[in-house]
Structures are given as C-alpha cells and as structure tokens.
Amino acid sequence: MASARGSIVRSLRLVGQHVQKQQSREMSSSSGPQRKVAVLGAAGGIGQPLGLLMKLNPLVTHLSLYDIAGTPGVAADISHCNTPAEVSGYAGDADLGKALEGADIVIIPAGVPRKPGMTRDDLFKINAGIVKSLCAAISQHCPEALVAMISNPVNSTVPIAAEVFKKAGTYDPRKLFGVTTLDVVRARTFYAAKKGLNVRDVDVPVVGGHAGITILPLFSQATPKKSLEGEELDALTKRTQDGGTEVVQAKAGKGSATLSMAYAGALFAEACLKGLNGQKGVIECTYVQSSIIPELPFFSSKVRLGPNGVEEIMGLGQITEYESKALEAMKSELASSIQKGVDFVHQS
Ligand SMILES: NC(=O)C1=CN([C@@H]2O[C@H](COP(=O)(O)OP(=O)(O)OC[C@H]3O[C@@H](n4cnc5c(N)ncnc54)[C@H](O)[C@@H]3O)[C@@H](O)[C@H]2O)C=CC1
Ligand SMILES: O=C([O-])CC(=O)C(=O)O
C-alpha cells in the first residue's frame, strides 16, 4: 500500500514537472521569433512523425504540411496536440505556393523509399524529378528559406536543388543542406552500445555523403574517447554505413527508416531554428557545398549554423590512416553522384 502510494506520488510529481515544462516552453515560444516550418511529403512515412515532432517543438510557431494528397487529415490530427504551433495542411500542386509562402525552413522528405535489393541511387529516376519541381517552387515562393533535403539519393538530390536554385538566381549555398543526421544518430547509438556508454554523452562526427561507403564515421574523434580498432572498428564502421539497408531489409518491402529518420530530421531542424534565432555554438554534421575536399563540391562535415544558415564549415580535424583510406575510397562514387545531379538539371 505504502509503496503504491509512493508510486502515485511519484507519478503526480512527474505530471507536475511535465506541465511546468510545457508552460515554460509555451512562454519561450510566445516570446521568441515567429518561425514557419514547411514539410513537403508530409503525409508519408517520414513526413507524419516528423510533422508531429515539429508540432512539439517550442521554436516552431507555424507548421505547414504539404503532400500531393492526404495532408488535410494529417494536419487535422496533429493540430489537436495542445502545443502552440499553428498547423495548416495543403494538398496538391495548386496549394504548394501557399504551403511555402513565408517559410523559414523547408524540410523535404518527398519521394519514394527503397525496397530490399535497391540502392539509394535506384531512387534517382523518380525522386530527381520530384525534388526538381519542389525546388523550383521554393525559389518562387520562399527563396530565402533554409532547405533541408531528406529525399534520396541525398548525394545527388542536393546538387539537383543547387542547380535549380542557380537557374532561378536564388542559390545561397549557406541555406541548402542534405540531412545526414541519421548517420550521426546511428553512429552514436552503435558506439555507445559497443563501449557501454550512456548514449546521451556520446558524439561521433560522420563525414562524406549519405550512401554506403560515402558515409564515413570518424570514430577516432568520438567522445568520450574509447579504444576502437581492428575488426571492432571495421564492424562499427560497416554497420553505420549499412544502417539504412539494415532497416530496409527488416521492413521487408514496407519501406525504409521512417521513425528514426523523423527523429533525426527533427534534431536537424531544431539546430537550424536555433541558428536562425541567433543561438551560439550550434554545430551539426550536414552535406553542404564545401571546398574541404577540392574534388567533391558537396561534402558532409561539421558546420556551425547561424542566422544565415551555414556560418562556418569546419575541417575534418586529425584523421587516422584508416579514415584517410576510406575517404579516398569514397571519392569517385561521391563525385559521380554529384555530377549526376548537376547533369540532370541541365539535360532535362
Ligand atoms: N536522408 C536520410 O537519411 C533518409 C532519407 N530517406 C528518404 O526519404 C524519402 C521519403 O521516405 P518515406 O517517407 O519513407 O516515403 P513515403 O513513400 O512513405 O512518403 C513519401 C511521401 O512523399 C510524397 N510525395 C511524392 N511526390 C511528392 C511531391 N511531388 N510533392 C510532395 N510530396 C510528394 C508521397 O505522397 C508520400 O506521402 C525517400 O526518398 C527515402 O529514401 C529515408 C530515410 C532516411
Ligand atoms: O536506406 C535508405 O534507403 C533510407 C536512408 O537513407 C537511411 O535509412 O539512411
């Protein structure tokens, strides 16, 4: 009895803490800047949980959910959550302009996902056209927005976006990002589990691109630092590179990572919002126009985010011989994926 009462008291205390946190979040949201976040592909496997997570984010004041169909239902559903962000749903081409108007950040998880046996590049045929038309609309309706690209193959869809923006005269390389946060999320999770660390304390930079060997976790720079070498290092590197395929196979034809991607996308969008709002010291790994590897015009590395998007692209730091070899090995694949994206815009 006494212990039952104790647990009820503990539960009530937790509810009280939750309400207090919610109130302080609402206060910070009503006193902070107005921020509109648009999600394109919002009725999909990633789009729905990502929309929900953005609705819970106190830095978001307006959430705009766009898809070719199904978004009014998703928006109605999410809008009932008692957090301050206003929610609107838009479906179909005719509504795309309204969905984008005034957006500070546009997150794009629109497009088809992989099935077992496919590579991310196999999605190019369909997703390249989708991304191209959405980016044309962005240059028309919210040319100043930060654009966070989730649609695969990210190694090519980001160069596609850049070329579309260049053609429209709206390209600002500081504002275009390939979302590679899921690679970081996975590297942190796998490293923490292997080394018996609290995952909340762990960080692992991941550089390169977002497909197979182009994903390079820099475990030599992981914190807290633990020894990792030989077969153990190989296995953890490979598991991070193949994390997407692990989920595709487990889902057995029902798509690819959606929930962990929504989580990762929400982390990245929050970092962008903090940067926009002038918070200092916001650093994320992301795939951006970069000159740190001269032959790779787009490359993921740590970048510092600020009010205009990318404020600083950080170098690779000290890398090991193992990592340097892996970097060499990815170069030709990443360079040709980038070129494929560029060519698509100029040839279509
Ligand atoms: N960057 C990353 O780390 C990750 C990327 N992805 C990629 O994200 C993309 C989406 O994956 P899921 O959400 O699982 O797919 P999904 O098929 O569940 O959802 C995609 C949504 O996009 C919508 N869509 C299609 N054409 C559109 C257009 N022109 N405008 C607006 N919306 C449009 C569809 O109606 C659908 O609701 C895939 O390309 C997938 O490979 C997935 C996981 C991780
Ligand atoms: O593997 C896929 O197709 C989806 C993806 O990009 C990931 O989960 O990292």
Structure confidence by residue, pLDDT tens digits, 288-312: 999 999 999 999 999 999 999 999 9
Q: Pick one of 3.40.309.10, 3.90.110.10, 2.40.340.10, 3.40.50.2000 as the CATH number of 181-347.
A: 3.90.110.10
Active-site residue list: 210
The answer on pLDDT for 5 being more than 90 is no
Q: Is 181 in the pocket of ligand 2 (CB under 6 A)?
A: no
Residue 187 pLDDT: 98
pLDDT value, residue 348 = 80
Average pLDDT over residues 122-144: 98
Question: What ranges do the domains of the chain cover?
Answer: 33-178, 181-347
For the chain, the average pLDDT equals 93
- Evaluate if residue 250 carries a pLDDT over 70: yes
Q: Is residue 264 in contact with ligand 2, taking CB distance under 6 Å?
A: no
Q: What is the pLDDT of residue 30?
A: 52
Q: pLDDT at residue 322 above 50?
A: yes
Residue owning the nearest CA to atom 8 of ligand 2:
244
Ligand 1 and 73: CB distance under 6 A: no
For 121-130, how does the pLDDT look when each residue is reduced to its tens digit (9 = 90+)?
A: 999 999 999 9
- pLDDT of 19 strictly over 60: no
Q: Which residues pair with 39 in a beta bridge?
A: 65, 107
Per-residue pLDDT tens digits for 145-176: 999 999 999 999 999 999 999 999 999 999 99
- Predicted local confidence at residue 13, as pLDDT: 47
**pLDDT tens-digit map of 196-246:** 999 999 999 999 999 999 999 999 999 999 999 999 999 999 999 999 999
CA distance 260 to 10: 30
Q: Which atom of ligand 2 is nearest the CA belonging to 152?
A: 6
Give per-residue pLDDT as tens, 29-42: 457 899 999 999 99
Residue 231 C-alpha to ligand 1 middle, in angstroms?
Answer: 35
Residue 134 has pLDDT above 80, yes or no: yes
Whose structure tokens read 């090519």?
156
DSSP strand pairing (298-306 vs 282-289): antiparallel
Selection from 154, 150, 180 nearest residue 46 by Cα: 150
Residue among 171, 139, 134, 170 nearest 149 (CA): 134
What is the pTM assigned to this prediction?
A: 0.93
Task: Using the predicted structure, report yes or no on whether residue 274 has a pLDDT greater than 80.
Answer: yes
From CA 76, how far away is CA 292, in angstroms rounded?
A: 45
33-178 — its CATH code?
Answer: 3.40.50.720
ipTM for the complex shown: 0.99
